[in-house]
Structure 1
Amino acid sequence: MNYKVAILMGSPNDADKMAPAATTLERYNIEADVRVMSAHRSPALVSDFTQTARQNGYSAIICGAGMAAHLAGAVAAHTTLPVIGVPLSGGAINGWDSLLATVQMPKGIPVATVAV
């Protein structure tokens, strides 16, 4: 079985921090599709991509975002695929804001969260 995982990030500035995710997936022969889309700046794009992700062959979605870090929650609200949130460091409190925003999802919006 072939697997394809989307790696989403809120800004092109996050590319260096999210690059190891693609490298790791490719090491295991899992296709990594890296895209930039913001839950705040392009919410319709996030919604459209997420709602069709399963039909387009994705097995999971990894979301990297800093500060308010709404991306993983926005994605999880529109799919039943596994969503992994990657809180990114930066901002005034060095990633604590993104960690808390990613880990504290409401009931019914499951996001697996990794460390900053």
Structure 2
Amino acid sequence: MKPIVGIIMGSDSDMQVMKEASDILYYFGVPHEVTIVSAHRTPDRLYNYAREAKDKGIRVIIAGAGGAAHLPGMAAALTSLPVIGVPVKSSGLSGIDSLYSIVQMPGGVPVATVAINGAKNAAILATQILAVSDEKLYSSLENYKKELEDFVMKKVEELEK
């Protein structure tokens, strides 16, 4: 099946965080691809990836980056597809630098931004975007949220015992 979500990251050191996005997309059965696209070291690759994504069938891009974290913003500048940015925790500033780089986009070039290392939520958000036009996927999300509720209620019961 052709991927409809693209997961991109600045380097393979981001994979530990971004794997959570892939795991969630697998859970929901959302076809996706994962690759490295560095905004600073491979700008032509970034340009080509973002410009060609829609024609390849990609409908949402999840972009994880640490440090200066230009990848999500540059991807959003190059495509009209929704881009979800994942600030990856860096050793220097604990991911605050990445968060600020991603969340402070200029008007007209939005990047939906999740928490530092929030790749799981990025994938859930991507799934929610896709579910707007996919009833089966929407139903799967409803079931997922019910499972979350059941998990918490089980913990409540255990605590009350």
Same fold (TM over 0.5): yes
Structure of greater Rg = 2
Cα offsets for 1:31-90 (capped at 9, x unmatched): 120000100000110011110100100010000000100000010001110000000101
Query: Which SS does the other structure have where 1:73 is aligned?
Result: helix
One-letter identity of the residue aligned with 1:13 = S
State TM-score, norm by structure 2: 0.69
Which residue of the partner structure matches residue 60 of structure 1?
A: 60
Structure 2 SS opposite 1:86: strand
Q: Identity percentage over the alignment?
A: 45
**What is the aligned partner in structure 2 of residue 90 from structure 1?**
90
Q: Which runs of 5+ in 2 are unaligned?
A: 117-161
Say if 2:69 is the partner of 1:69. yes
Q: Is the Cα contact below 8 Å between 2:9 and 2:63 reproduced in 1?
A: yes
C-alpha displacement of 1:91: 2.6
Q: Please, what TM-score do these two structures have when normalized by structure 1? A: 0.96
SS of residue paired to 2:86: strand
1:1-116 equivalences in 2 (<5 Å): 4-116=4-116
What do you get for the CA RMSD once the two structures are aligned? 1.1
2: CA distance between counterparts of 1:105 and 1:82? Answer: 14
Q: Please give the alpha-carbon distance, in whole angstroms, between the structure 2 residues aligned to 1:36 and 1:26.
A: 19
Q: What residue identity is the alignment partner of 1:17?
A: V
Q: Which one-letter code corresponds to 2:92 in the other structure? A: A
CA distance in 2, matches of 1:90, 1:69: 10
Would you tell me which structure has more helix in proportion to its own residues? 2
Q: Does the 8 Å contact 2:66/2:89 carry over to 1?
A: yes
Moved over 2 A (4+): none
